[in-house]
């Protein structure tokens, strides 16, 4: 397999509502990624698009609809989809295009326009449940996360304030992010604990907001990077992905086994033997604050039930020993599902090349891991990147 | 290998009925805003121009699909277009009978990349590919800034 | 690079811009209707619900009792072997107290909802359902519960043939 590097990244601002169409958002992010890599569209061999359910944008065959904005016109082009996991998975798909030798330069473009869906994207989330076993109960999607969070809290005796610390950290980290939707320099644990109860134990400030946005990254072979003398690059050294049983009521919700399996695959490829010592920073998927903790454990960066302790002790702060979501994550920057690639893959690239500006981790970082989570709480994908 | 047992009485198979409720508002976007405001307020069509490639795009867009440059220049579309192809619809989209049948056409404009799909305001017998047409817009007060501000294409006076 | 970008793209709209039509827009409401075939396993499951019973499938190779029932075992990737009834009692594995209805509308009287693992099935095998005859302060993980069925004449072959799960009473097991 060939060595693959990330050489450019771009993203739109994330907001509850943007005027741009999906294609237009894709163009803006893609143009920025190409410009940052110093490439033109003619340099691009193939294009991968990542976008979550069609029902949010309200356009069927959304991949085809978005393709010209993604720069896919008259090129080999594929849409990939693994629910929320798309935020990291599309980069894995781009990686195999280049690693296999099939392409030298690949664009990966992710998009979501959730504001199209009225009155709230929640109404189409109803359609991801089993139509016969679950939907007659009129479920709200938040229920399933509330149930997972409750089980995680109960089994390990975790307090809500320990989880709220994640929301506070990420919303404060997002203050340095120019695209952030919900950055808040002054938020406190108390604010989170006093926010509206939506589906206990999930409160309003435990949840990332629905957003419109797009993001893009450019991947290239080491050969191309050397030939074009590209300085700003971060290498993809391991990838992994895994899915669990479709019967969610049969799974133990305490530990994301599928994330652990994906992480072991990626660490194996990247020759990471002791993740807690060898990974310098992490961008786990944080659509809810408890998910960052859950995923740190799945990524083997914390022992089972101990991620809250790391958070309480400040280890996961930007200047801590293991900075987690230095971008501000989904909790702070926003959650246009697939487009969260801007914080997961984009942030790894910007941190590893020293371009993160106000968000730059103050000490040197050489190895980062990002992870996304999707489908019905059952899918994990992991990318390890090195400077 | 197949299931080890199967129901042989088809009446025992069940189905669960439901629907997918969803409601959408689609913004017309940055280029779409220019296009639909010109259509609503002035009753005319705009294209987006890429000077580098010498291309005018209809409907307009903010990027050139060839060179991927950002497009900011908008130019009027020539008033007269040509029917590239057409179909006569005997059913509407729900499958109900359309009476009388409706003619739908894809219309292109000289020197413009793309075109528009809309009603052709002609009888099926009179409709033919190649015919010259222009848009008929609804009265100003009925226009809201959507594609329905166009009533359809009508045969150009020169070919009547 | 992120420090060098002067203006990040994107034009933000307010709720009013969108909902009051201050930007040009097109509205559409799809009307998609479905009849989802329940298939082999779930047809039988629904038929048994109507009869007031819960049924599972067993896999002889991994010796699991699979619930909800399915015709193939995802562990062994082979057809399952036999039908078996399980009990309508179980344990609350997890729950939520929801102030949101299905459309994310706020409701004042919360819904108690969660996952019940059922007695007679393999560990952790369960279903989502409502809880009743308990308050939001009484519900807890590990609580023993029993299904409250609708009267036979009201059952339709649906998960709603069970109204909710209630706490096991003193002496009940
Ligand atoms: Zn051009
Ligand atoms: Zn088995």
Instruction: State the DSSP code for A53.
Output: -
Alpha-helical segments (H) within chain B: 29-42
Min Cα separation B40/chain C (Å): 10
> What is the pTM for the complete model shown?
0.94
What pLDDT digit, counting tens, does each position of A203-235 carry?
A: 999 999 999 999 999 999 999 999 999 999 999
Q: If you average pLDDT over residues A124-148, what whole number do you get? A: 91
Give which of A75, A109, A116, A133 to mutate to test B binding, by max B Cβ within 10 Å.
A116
| A72 half-sphere exposure, CB direction, 13 A CA radius | 22
Tell me whether residue B93 is exposed, middle or buried, using C-beta atoms within 10 angstroms of its C-beta: 0 to 12, 13 to 18, 19 or more: exposed
What pLDDT digit, counting tens, does each position of A318-336 carry?
A: 999 999 999 999 999 999 9
Q: How far apart are CA A352 and CA A282, in angstroms?
A: 12
ipTM associated with this complex: 0.91
What pLDDT does residue B1 have? 62
Q: Average per-residue pLDDT in chain A? A: 96
Report whether pLDDT(B158) > 80. no
Q: Cβ contacts of residue B41 below 8 Å, gap of 6+?
A: none
In chain C, the largest separation of any two C-alpha atoms, in whole Å, equals 71
Overall CATH class of domain B29-155: mainly beta
Residue B141's SS3 state is helix
Chain C residues whose beta carbon lies within 8 Å of the beta carbon of residue A199? 96-100
Domain positions in chain B are 29-155
Q: How far apart are CA A127 and CA A89, in angstroms?
A: 22
User: Which tokens hold the place of B7?
Assistant: 């129901």
**% pLDDT > 70, chain B:** 98
**% pLDDT > 90, chain A:** 93
Report whether pLDDT(A242) > 60. yes
Q: How confident is the model at residue A252 (pLDDT cuts 50, 70, 90)?
A: confident
Strand partners, A241: A381
Residues of chain C with pLDDT under 50: none
Distance from chain centroid for Cα C141: 17
What pLDDT does residue A174 have? 98
What pLDDT does residue B157 have? 76
Report whether pLDDT(B159) > 60. no
Q: Which has the closest alpha carbon to A50: A327, A241, A208, A261? A: A241
Across the interface, which of B22, B29, B32 has its CB nearest the CB of A124? B22
- Distance (angstroms) between ligand 1 centre and the Cα of A72 equals 14
Report whether pLDDT(A150) > 80. yes
What pLDDT does residue B160 have? 45
How would DSSP label each residue in chain C? Answer: -TTT-S-----B--HHHHHTTSS-EEEE---EEEEEE-HHHHHHHHHHHHTT-EEEEEETTTTEEESS--SEETTTTEE--EEEEE-SEEEEEEEEEEEE-TTS-EEEEEEEEEEEEETTSSTT-EEEEEB-SS-TTT--TT-EEEEEEPPGGG--SSGGGEEEEEEPPTT--
Q: Could you tell me if B76 and B56 are in contact, meaning their C-beta atoms sit under 8 angstroms apart?
A: no
* C77/B contact by beta carbon, under 8 A: no
What pLDDT does residue A86 have? 97
- Distance (angstroms) between ligand 1 centre and the Cα of A74 equals 14
Right CATH for A4-119+209-386 from 3.40.50.11260, 3.40.50.620, 2.160.20.60, 3.40.47.10: 3.40.47.10
Q: Is B68's CB within 8 Å of A31's CB?
A: yes
Min Cα separation A19/chain B (Å): 5
Sign of CA dihedral B90, B93, B98, B100: negative
Q: How far apart are CA A28 and CA A42, in angstroms?
A: 17
User: Which tokens hold the place of A30?
Assistant: 């893609």
Q: How far apart are CA B49 and CA C48, in angstroms?
A: 66
Q: How far apart are CA A318 and CA C137, in angstroms?
A: 38
Tell me whether residue B95 is exposed, middle or buried, using C-beta atoms within 10 angstroms of its C-beta: 0 to 12, 13 to 18, 19 or more: exposed
Q: Which residues of B touch A (CB under 8 A)?
A: 16, 18, 20-33, 61-63, 65-68, 70
Q: Could you tell me if C118 and C146 are in contact, meaning their C-beta atoms sit under 8 angstroms apart?
A: no
Domain positions in chain C are 40-167
What pLDDT digit, counting tens, does each position of C118-155 carry?
A: 999 999 999 999 999 999 999 999 999 999 999 999 99
Q: Could you tell me if A138 and C98 are in contact, meaning their C-beta atoms sit under 8 angstroms apart?
A: no
Domain positions in chain A are 4-119+209-386
Instruction: State the DSSP code for A132.
Output: T
Q: If you average pLDDT over residues A270-296, what whole number do you get? A: 98
């Amino acid at each position: 397999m060939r060595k693959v590097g990330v050489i450019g990244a771009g993203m739109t601002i994330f907001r509850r509502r943007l005027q741009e169409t999906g294609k237009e958002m894709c163009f803006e992010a893609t143009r920025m990624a190409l410009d940052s890599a110093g490439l033109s569209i003619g340099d691009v061999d193939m294009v991968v698009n990542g976008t979550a359910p069609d029902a949010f944008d309200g356009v069927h065959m959304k991949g085809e609809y978005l393709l010209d904005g993604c720069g896919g016109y008259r090129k080999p082009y594929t849409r990939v989809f693994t629910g929320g996991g798309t935020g990291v998975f599309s980069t894995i798909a781009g990686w195999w295009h280049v690693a296999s030798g099939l392409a030298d330069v690949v664009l990966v473009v992710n998009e979501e326009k959730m504001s199209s869906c009225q009155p709230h994207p929640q109404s189409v989330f109803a359609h991801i449940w089993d139509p016969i076993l679950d939907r007659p109960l009129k479920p709200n999607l938040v229920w399933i996360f509330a149930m997972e969070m409750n089980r995680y809290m109960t089994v390990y005796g975790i307090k809500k304030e320990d989880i709220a610390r994640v929301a506070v950290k990420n919303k404060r980290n997002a203050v340095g992010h120019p695209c952030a939707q919900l950055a808040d320099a002054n938020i406190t644990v108390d604010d989170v604990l006093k926010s509206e109860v939506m589906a206990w134990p999930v409160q309003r400030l435990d949840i990332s907001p629905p957003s419109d946005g797009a993001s893009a990254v450019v991947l290239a072979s080491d050969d191309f990077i050397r030939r074009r003398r590209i300085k700003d690059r971060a290498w993809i050294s391991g990838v992994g992905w895994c899915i669990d049983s479709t019967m969610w009521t049969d799974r133990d919700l305490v530990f994301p086994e599928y994330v652990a399996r994906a992480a072991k695959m990626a660490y194996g490829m990247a020759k990471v033997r002791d993740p807690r010592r060898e990974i310098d920073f992490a961008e786990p998927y944080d659509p809810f604050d408890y998910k960052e903790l859950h995923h740190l454990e799945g990524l083997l960066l914390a022992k089972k039930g101990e991620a809250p302790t790391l958070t309480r002790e400040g280890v996961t702060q930007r200047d801590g020993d293991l900075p987690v979501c230095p971008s501000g994550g989904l909790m702070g920057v926003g959650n246009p599902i697939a487009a969260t690639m801007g914080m997961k893959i984009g942030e790894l690239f910007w941190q590893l090349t020293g371009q993160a500006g106000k968000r730059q981790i103050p000490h040197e970082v050489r190895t980062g891991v990002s992870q996304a989570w999707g489908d019905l709480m059952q899918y994990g994908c992991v990318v390890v990147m090195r400077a | 290998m197949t299931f080890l047992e199967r129901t042989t009485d088809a009446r025992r198979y069940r189905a669960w009925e439901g629907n997918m409720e969803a409601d959408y508002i689609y913004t017309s976007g940055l280029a779409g805003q220019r296009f639909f405001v010109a259509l609503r307020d002035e009753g005319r069509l705009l294209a987006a121009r890429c000077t580098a490639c010498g291309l005018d795009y209809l409907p307009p867009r903010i990027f050139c699909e060839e060179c991927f440059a950002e497009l900011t220049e908008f130019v009027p579309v020539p008033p007269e277009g040509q029917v590239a192809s057409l179909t006569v619809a005997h059913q509407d989209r729900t499958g109900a009978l359309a009476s009388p049948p409706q003619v739908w056409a894809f219309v292109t404009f000289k020197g413009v990349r793309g075109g528009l799909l809309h009603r052709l305001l002609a009888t099926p017998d009179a409709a033919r590919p190649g015919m010259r047409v222009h848009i008929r817009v609804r009265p100003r007060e009925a226009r809201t800034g959507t594609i329905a501000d166009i009533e359809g294409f009508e045969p150009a006076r020169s070919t009547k | 690079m992120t420090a060098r970008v002067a203006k990040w793209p994107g034009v933000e709209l307010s709720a009013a811009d969108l909902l009051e039509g201050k930007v040009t827009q097109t509205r559409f409401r799809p009307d998609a209707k479905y009849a989802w075939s329940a298939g082999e396993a779930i047809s039988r499951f629904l038929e048994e619900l109507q009869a007031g019973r819960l049924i599972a499938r067993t896999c002889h190779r991994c010796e699991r009792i699979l619930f909800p029932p399915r015709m193939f075992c995802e562990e062994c990737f082979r057809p399952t072997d036999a039908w078996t009834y399980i009990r309508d009692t179980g344990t609350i594995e997890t729950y939520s107290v929801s102030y949101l209805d299905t459309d994310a509308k706020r409701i004042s009287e919360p819904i108690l909802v969660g996952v019940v693992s059922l007695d007679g099935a393999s560990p952790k095998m369960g279903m989502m359902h409502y809880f009743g005859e308990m308050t939001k302060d009484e519900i807890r993980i590990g609580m023993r519960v029993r299904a409250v069925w609708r009267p036979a004449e009201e059952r339709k072959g649906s998960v709603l043939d069970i109204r909710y799960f209630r706490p096991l009473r003193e002496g009940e097991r």
